[in-house]
Amino acid sequence: MANCSLLLLLIACLFVDCSLGLTLSLKLVHRFSDEAKSLWKSTRTGNVSAKFWPPRNSLKYFQMLLDYDLKRRRLKIGSKYDMLFPSEGSQVIFFGNEFNWLHYTWIDIGTPRVPFLVALDVGSDLLWVPCDCVQCAPLSASYYSVLDRDLSEYNPALSSTSKHLFCGHQLCAWSTTCKSPNDPCTYKRDYYSDNTSTSGYMIEDKLHLTSFSKHGTHSLLQASVVLGCGRKQSGSYLDGAAPDGVMGLGPGNISVPTLLAQEGLVRNTFSLCFDNNGSGRIIFGDDGPATQQTTQFLPLFGEFAAYFIGVESFCVGSSCLQRSGFQALVDSGSSFTYLPAEVYKKIVFEFDKQVKFNATRIVLQELPWNYCYNLSTLVSFNIPSMKLVFPLNQIFIHDPVYILPANQGYKVFCLTLEETDEDYGVIGQNLMVGYRMVFDRENLKLGWSKSKCLDINSSTTEHAKPPSNNGNAKSPIALPPTNRQAIAPTAARTSSKSSLSASYFSPLLLLLLAAFLVACWIC
């Protein structure tokens, strides 16, 4: 600590113009030397683990030095691959009512690899699959009308690359059941849907991926990820929502995009695309086209714990409403879109005013929406679209209307916006259809552009396809309840830092600051 105090004194002298002639000499200490190890031990209790301090010239010693070099290189040259997607293909699948109107993709986990059909959810962080089941949804294809193969159950004991996470692991800091570092890391996640949860313990294993370069070349690789061994599910997870697991894509430190970026495999960004035909794609590392529109993510209580954005105003048709701005969570785990009560009332009032001269409002008990209309097929009428306006006049246009098949000469349509008692809204996947949505976590912004969502690896073997509807709307009967996911408590933390003008720093001061940091690290 004496070295640190001396350096502080020297820096203070520079600011108060001390008239001292000084000659500064610094001693270099290797990070794995005996001297550095001794200094490290003197400031900490207990023994220094060989995991962090390998014997000099051992295999582990050189491996750790190589790992440090690789990390430095990644910082300089960026990610190893342009884009990644699941080894089963980049295709996203939509099954409609059968699987609660969520979007899914196939992933492979473990050695040997086992396929899972997981729901895609940007509103949560955890990747979990049914595992060593105590209470899980049925996995037999015969239970579901749209599957042509059974779903899988994960068994860590059968994977040669699986490792149990213990409480001492840095990614288990949020567990509430830990009593000692050697206890198994358990988890329990409660979601906003009524009585919906998953619980079990945490595992580290391999996720199988395919790389895609700008030159069109492909290669297979494995990435280490953490996942929940979901032994017990409840609520909507037992009723058809995500029977084979969920891939959380949130900004937290356990989500798949975060772990892929930390390994230096791909940029810290990904895209989702849902098309009008019940398909789409997911790409890790995709930063979108240069022509896309963007808006910044907003912190939640000072942290970027979820994908929040700020809407400045909401437009119905050509009418942009006054004081209709709000903050919204972008969440593919929500089937529909939810608005704060005050904004919702303004929008439905304006929508009703614009359509009531051409359509008759009706009440349909089997549908969850309050604003449904009968429209004569003989009437030529364009249903008003919706427009979300963001800062810098960035605009997101969509048509949140559900149209039922024509019946007895009439066409029925419903406004699929819902009211929430929260002070923020939720932009669900029904507003994302037809767009390439880019979640740029490096620059903390959301991007969007119109897209047909073509599968980047369409030659991949396909299975369990969604049923064809021949261009007709799917049956609206037995629509799912709200599917909003809870904001994950494991989101990465950010901290504000005070800034100093560069004009205050001389080269000598910068040298002393660097020396101070090095000396304090050793201390």
Closest CA to 489 of 122, 121, 126, 120: 126
Among candidate residues 82, 108, 121, 244, the one labeled active-site is 121
The Cα 18–Cα 12 span in angstroms is 8
Cα angle at 385 between 383 and 391, to 5 degrees? 165
Q: Which runs of E-coded beta strand occur in 275-431?
A: 279-284, 293-296, 298-300, 303-311, 313-316, 319-320, 326-330, 337-340, 360-362, 372-376, 386-390, 394-398, 401-403, 410-415, 417-420, 425-427
Q: What would the two tokens of residue 498 be?
A: 């005070």
Told to judge if 331 belongs to the known catalytic residues of this protein, a careful annotator would answer yes
The answer to whether 338 touches 521, Cβ cutoff 8 Å, is no
How is residue 472 annotated by DSSP?
A: P
Among candidate residues 125, 331, 440, 455, the one labeled active-site is 331
Burial of 420 (0-12, 13-18, 19+ CB in 10 A): middle
Told to judge if 121 belongs to the known catalytic residues of this protein, a careful annotator would answer yes
Long-range contact pairs involving 32-37 (C-beta distance under 8 Å, separation at least 24): 32/56, 32/61, 32/64, 32/65, 36/522
Q: What would the two tokens of residue 33 be?
A: 């030397």
The answer to whether 283 touches 90, Cβ cutoff 8 Å, is yes
Residues with a known catalytic role: 121, 331
